[in-house]
């Protein structure tokens, strides 16, 4: 997941396919005879030209080594085009599979569970393996990941008389620093009003959406309410504004344009360099809330269709793409964090300005992502638009109802 739109949740429109018998695939360093002469279609959701070029270069290198051909298709709406492909029995040979849709696709039998047999299966972050496991089976390999951090415009920070010692570590200091940074021409803090940001505050308050045993929704808890109330208070105090209030498409644009001194985004913030080459920034771990430190981890995996004729070749390509060197090349191109622990460590050393994103991986959690949950979260995002001046408890009670209903269906209740 590699850009600010990648975290947007959307409802899945795919028709259900029958569950099929799965076959374990043995990963190999190269495709050999399995790949020779084959043409693979790889569908991606790209953050821009840099990501597209990086994927095209990497897949072309594998194709040249394996006497194969790879066509990279950049989807305008990845979820919609994937669902149409599966419904029409024309799914791509390899594709980005987002964290929020994985459980739905896996439960419908769309995905080949190849990942556990990769030669580098043990190299990935355990939390990412958990995200892309279904029925306790590691199903598809995470291609990279991103965490949320506090991004500071260092010029505006220095102009306000702030130093490294002032970097906020808790909610109280975040509010205080945001106040210091708020002027007639800029706001102290900005982020998108959606689950992918607000949910981090709910977690920092000690809340969660699903109980530890996976059977009960805890959306309307006092802790989750406190998380939303904190956001409300920051806005009431005038130290938080959302991108739409700043005439910005996303908070990265607000940071680059000097309209916001701090934003909550991920390493894809690197993308602002194209439009705002003179903007300097630094990234820090998100401040802790009453419940401790928490941030979200967003990721995609490499999906392979169930019973695909090109599965062996696609698996070989995945093993190549998830190698440490290829992931580090992708990180250099468009800012994502490698999904293997060894490559991520090298990434943190190479890009110390982004080291905080890697450090927070130890406590990062994936947003709720069980089968069918995407539609409930989409509705939640819609209701969050009424948070300012609204009732956080009512918003969360609505989520409680819709999410519990979906979870009951998944659990056969």
Q: What does the pLDDT look like over 135-146, one tens digit per residue?
A: 999 999 999 999
Least confident of 72-81, 290-299, 315-324, 366-375: 366-375
pLDDT band at 183; cut points 50, 70, 90? very high
- Evaluate whether residue 119 is within a structural domain: yes
**Are 231 and 377 in a shared domain?**
yes
pLDDT reported for residue 251: 96
**Are 249 and 193 in a shared domain?**
yes
**Are 254 and 388 in a shared domain?**
yes
Of the candidates 301, 314, 300, the residue with the CA atom closest to the CA atom of residue 25: 314
pLDDT of 305 above 80: yes
pLDDT of 27 above 60: no
Q: Which of 358, 383, 401 is the last residue of a domain?
A: 358
Can you give the three-state secondary structure of 148-162, one letter per residue? CEEEEEHHHHHHCCC
- Evaluate whether residue 2 is within a structural domain: no
- Evaluate whether residue 183 is within a structural domain: yes
Which domain range does residue 168 map to?
Answer: 149-296+369-410
Pairing of strands 149-153, 281-284: antiparallel
Judged on CB neighbours under 10 Å (0-12, 13-18, 19+), 380 is buried
Rounded to an integer, what distance in angstroms lies between the CA atom of residue 166 and that of residue 175?
12
Of the candidates 200, 190, 142, 154, the residue with the CA atom closest to the CA atom of residue 1: 142
**Are 131 and 155 in a shared domain?**
no
Query: Do 40 and 71 meet the contact criterion of CB atoms below 8 Å apart?
Result: yes
pLDDT of 285 above 80: yes
pLDDT band at 334; cut points 50, 70, 90? confident
**Are 51 and 122 in a shared domain?**
yes
pLDDT of 13 above 80: no
- Evaluate whether residue 208 is within a structural domain: yes
**Eight-class DSSP state of 107:** H
* Joined tokens for residue 338: 């490698």
- Evaluate whether residue 18 is within a structural domain: no
- Evaluate whether residue 24 is within a structural domain: no
Average pLDDT over residues 221-250: 98
**Are 156 and 285 in a shared domain?**
yes
pLDDT reported for residue 328: 97
**Are 164 and 127 in a shared domain?**
no
**Are 110 and 56 in a shared domain?**
yes
Give the model confidence (pLDDT) of 314-330 as tens digits: 999 999 999 999 999 99
Domain count within the chain: 2
Give the model confidence (pLDDT) of 192-214 as tens digits: 999 999 999 999 999 999 998 88
pLDDT above 90: percentage of residues in the chain: 78
CATH number at residue 172: 3.40.190.10
- Evaluate whether residue 21 is within a structural domain: no
Q: 29 vs 379, which has greater pLDDT? A: 379
pLDDT band at 278; cut points 50, 70, 90? very high
pLDDT reported for residue 33: 57
**Are 264 and 162 in a shared domain?**
yes
- Evaluate whether residue 1 is within a structural domain: no
* Average pLDDT over the chain, rounded to an integer: 90
**Are 174 and 213 in a shared domain?**
yes
**Are 138 and 71 in a shared domain?**
yes
Distance separating the N- and C-terminal Cα atoms of the chain: 33
The residues, any chain, with a CB within 8 Å of residue 254's CB and separated by 6 or more, are 187, 190, 243, 246, 248, 260, 263
Give the model confidence (pLDDT) of 71-128 as tens digits: 999 999 999 999 999 999 999 999 999 988 999 899 999 999 999 999 999 999 998 9
Average pLDDT over residues 128-156: 95
**Are 247 and 346 in a shared domain?**
no
Of the candidates 339, 333, 346, 411, the residue with the CA atom closest to the CA atom of residue 373: 411
């Amino acid at each position: 997941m590699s850009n600010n739109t990648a975290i947007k949740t959307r409802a899945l429109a795919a028709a259900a396919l029958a569950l099929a018998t799965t076959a374990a695939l043995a990963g190999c360093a190269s495709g050999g005879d399995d790949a020779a002469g084959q043409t693979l279609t790889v569908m991606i959701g790209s953050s821009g030209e840099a990501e597209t070029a990086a994927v095209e270069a990497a897949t072309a290198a594998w194709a040249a080594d394996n006497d194969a051909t790879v066509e990279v298709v950049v989807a305008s709406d990845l979820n919609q085009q994937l669902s149409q492909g599966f419904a029409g029995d024309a799914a791509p040979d390899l594709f980005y599979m987002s964290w929020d849709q994985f459980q739905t696709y896996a439960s419908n039998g769309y995905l080949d569970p190849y990942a556990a047999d990769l030669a580098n299966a043990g190299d990935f972050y355990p939390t990412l393996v958990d995200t892309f496991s279904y029925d306790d089976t590691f199903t598809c390999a995470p291609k990279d990941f991103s965490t949320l951090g506090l991004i500071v415009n260092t010029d505006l920070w220095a102009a306000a008389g702030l130093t490294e010692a002032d970097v906020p570590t808790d909610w109280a200091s975040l509010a205080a620093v945001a106040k210091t940074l708020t002027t007639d021409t800029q706001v102290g803090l900005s982020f998108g009003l959606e689950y992918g940001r607000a949910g981090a505050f709910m977690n920092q308050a000690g809340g969660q959406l699903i109980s530890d045993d996976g059977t009960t929704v805890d959306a309307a808890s006092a802790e989750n309410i406190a998380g939303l109330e904190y956001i409300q208070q920051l806005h009431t105090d005038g130290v938080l504004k959302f991108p739409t209030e700043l005439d910005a498409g996303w908070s990265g644009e607000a940071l680059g344009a000097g309209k916001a001194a701090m934003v909550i985004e991920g390493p894809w913030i690197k993308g602002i360099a194209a439009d705002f080459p003179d903007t300097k920034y630094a990234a820090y771990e998100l401040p802790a809330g009453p419940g401790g430190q928490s941030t979200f981890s967003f990721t995609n995996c490499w999906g392979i269709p169930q019973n695909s004729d090109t599965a062996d070749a696609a698996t070989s390509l995945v093993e190549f793409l998830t190698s440490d060197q290829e992931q580090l090349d992708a990180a250099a191109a468009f800012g994502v964090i490698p999904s293997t622990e060894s490559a991520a460590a090298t990434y943190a050393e190479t890009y110390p300005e982004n080291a905080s994103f890697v450090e927070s991986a130890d406590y990062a959690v994936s947003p709720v992502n069980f089968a069918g949950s995407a539609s409930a979260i989409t509705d939640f995002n819609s209701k969050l638009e009424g948070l300012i001046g609204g009732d956080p408890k009512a918003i969360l009670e609505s989520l409680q109802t819709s999410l519990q209903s979906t979870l009951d269906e998944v659990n056969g209740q």
